[in-house]
Structure 1
C-alpha cells in the first residue's frame, strides 16, 4: 500500500527559450511580456535567454532591468553581434532538456510553446516548428506580406502552408531536444544569414527529421519598405553560395531560381542590341510572370488594392536574392572572405 510519505513528486522539466537581439529598444518590452505569458505543459517551467549583440539604443539597459525583476529572464552577452553567435551563446548556457528559438519581431500564440513540446514528443522529430506567416503594417508592408505568403513567389516552400502537417526540409525558428545540438552541432558562426537553413540541412544529412505543424502558430512582421526588403533578400542570397560550398548542395533547388531570373535578365540586356526579339521576349515573359504572380498574391491575400504594389515587391524579392547570390558566388569562386557589407544584420 502506498502512503503519503512514499510519494515523491516528479522533478519539474525545464524548457530553455533562446532569442538573439541587437538594437531592439522599440520591441524588447513587448517581446519579454509575450514570452513570459506563454502557457507551459503541466510539470514544465522555463528560462528565457536573450543574447544581446552589444546594443547601443537602450535595449541592453532595458534587458538588465527586466532580468532583475524576473529571474526567468537571463541576459546573455553576444560580442559577435550576429544571430548565429547569439544562438550559440544561449545554447551554451541553456539548462533545459528542450530548447525553443523565438524571434523579437514575431507575435506568438499563447500556446505556442505548449504546441512545440507536444509536436516534438508526438512526431519524434529532431526539430519542429510552425508555418511562417507574415503580417505587414501599412500598404507597402501588407503587399510585402502578401508576396511573402504567395507560393509562386517562394517556390512552393511548405513553410508558407499554414495547415501543413508533416516532414519538411526546413522550418521557421525551431524547437529541438537538447541532444540534437550534441548530434548535429551548433549554428555555423561563419554565416551571418541562412544559419538556420544550413543547420537544418546538416541535421537532415545526418539522418535527423524536421517536422512542421499548423498547430504551432505565430505571426512574423516583415520589412515595411522596398529598400529594406531588397537589402534583406540580397543578404540572404549572398550567403547561399557559402552554404553550397560547405555542403556541396543548396538547402533546396528553389533557392537557386532567383539567381536564374537575374541571369536571364542580364543576358537579355546583353542580347538586346544584336538579337532584340529573343531578348525582348525574355523580358516580356518575366513581366508577364510578375503580373500573374501579383494577381495570385492579391487574390490569396483577399485584397485587390495591393495589386499595384505587388509587381515591384515581387521583383525586389527575386532580384535582391538573385543578385546577392551572384555576388556571393563571385566571392566564393575567388576564395575571398565574406564582404563586410554583408556581415552586418540589417532590419
Structure 2
C-alpha cells in the first residue's frame, strides 16, 4: 500500500528480444480493470535484448510511470523473475508472459482468487489457441488432457487445488516464506516453485475465472525443441526434491528409455519383435490420442495430430534422459539447453 492508501499489484514479466510483441503486451497489461482501491505497476525484466526491445521499453517507461524496465543480465526466466520481484512494491505479485493474451479482468480475478482460496499461489488454466494449421494442431493437442496425461492445468472449467498452475499470482509473503525462483533452472522454475510450496504446507489453486490465451509454437521443429528443453530440466527439479511434481512427468522418459533399451538388446541378439512391438504399441496409443483430440471438433487437423503428439512426447522423453545423464554425471546443465526456444 502506498502513502495514499492505494493497494499495489505488481505485474512481473521476463522477456528477451520481443520488439515485435512488447508494445501490444504492455497496452493489454495497462488496460487491466482492477478492483477499486488498487493500482498496477508493470515490471519488465529484459534479458539483454539486442533487437530493439530495450529501446521500446525505455520509450514506454518514459511515457507511463507505471512501466519499469529491470535489467536481467542472467537472461533466463528465473533470473528475470527474481530481479523483478526484488524491485516490486506490490502486496500482490502477478506473473505475465508476452506471448499470452489476457481477459480484461485477469489481474482482478487473481486478486479475488487469492482472497477466496487462501492459497499460496493461484492461477488459471493453460488455454492454447493457434492460427496457421500446424499451430492449430499444436494447440489442439496441447489442450487435450489425454495428451497431457490428465494435467488439471488443461481443464478449462476446473476450480480447486492443483499441483501447478499457468503463470501464477502470489501474496508477497509467499516469497518470504518459500523463497524466489531457482536460478539454476532454465525451464520448469514455476513447477519447482509450486512443488516447494506444496511440500512446505502451502496450497496451489486453479481458478477457471482467471482467463488467458496462450499462443503456442508455430512449427513441429519449434515444438520439439521446446519440449526437449522442458524434459531436460525436469530431472534437475526431481534431484532437488527427491520426487517428480506428478507421476505423468515420468512417462515420456520411460517410453524413450524402453525403446532404446529394447533396441540395444535386439542388436545384441534378442528378438527384434521386442522393440518393434514397443514402438507399435506407442504408435497405436498416438493414433488413439489423435482420434480423441480430433473428435473434440478438430477433424480437419487429424493428419497433423500424430506428428504433433509424437514430437511433444519424444522431445520430452529424450530431454528427460539427457537431463538424468547430466544430473548423475556431474549435476550441471548443458550450455545448449540454457538458450530459450522462442
What are the residue-to-residue correspondences of 1:1-347 with 2, within 5 Å? 11-272=5-266, 274-300=270-296, 302-347=297-342
1:173 alignment partner, SS class: strand
User: Structure 2, unaligned stretches of length 5 or more?
Assistant: none
Q: CA deviation at 1:165?
A: 0.3
Alpha-carbon distance between aligned partners in 2 of 1:22 and 1:85, rounded to the nearest angstrom: 12
Q: Give yes or no for contact 2:125–2:154 (8 Å, CA) kept in 1.
A: yes
TM-score between both structures, scaled by the size of structure 1: 0.95
> For residues 275-312 of structure 1, what are the alpha-carbon distances to aligned partners after superposition, in whole Å with 9 as ceiling and x for unaligned?
13333221111111010001111122x12110001111
Q: CA deviation at 1:191?
A: 0.5
Alpha-carbon distance between aligned partners in 1 of 2:143 and 2:257, rounded to the nearest angstrom: 25
- Distance verdict in 2 for CA 1:122–1:336, change over 3 Å: closer
Alpha-carbon distance between aligned partners in 2 of 1:298 and 1:25, rounded to the nearest angstrom: 35
TM-score between both structures, scaled by the size of structure 2: 0.97
Q: Give yes or no for contact 2:140–2:298 (8 Å, CA) kept in 1.
A: no
1:56 alignment partner, SS class: coil
Higher-Rg structure is 1
Q: CA deviation at 1:269?
A: 2.6
Alpha-carbon distance between aligned partners in 1 of 2:59 and 2:171, rounded to the nearest angstrom: 30
> For residues 226-253 of structure 1, what are the alpha-carbon distances to aligned partners after superposition, in whole Å with 9 as ceiling and x for unaligned?
1111111011011011111111111111
Q: CA deviation at 1:271?
A: 4.4
Aligned partner of 1:5 in structure 2 is none
Q: Give yes or no for contact 2:10–2:42 (8 Å, CA) kept in 1.
A: yes
Aligned partner of 1:3 in structure 2 is none
- Distance verdict in 2 for CA 1:329–1:219, change over 3 Å: same
User: Structure 1, unaligned stretches of length 5 or more?
Assistant: 1-8
Aligned partner of 1:4 in structure 2 is none
> For residues 125-169 of structure 1, what are the alpha-carbon distances to aligned partners after superposition, in whole Å with 9 as ceiling and x for unaligned?
110000000011201000000110111111100000000000001
- Distance verdict in 2 for CA 1:10–1:81, change over 3 Å: closer
Alpha-carbon distance between aligned partners in 1 of 2:265 and 2:278, rounded to the nearest angstrom: 10
2:166 alignment partner, SS class: coil
Q: CA deviation at 1:15?
A: 0.4
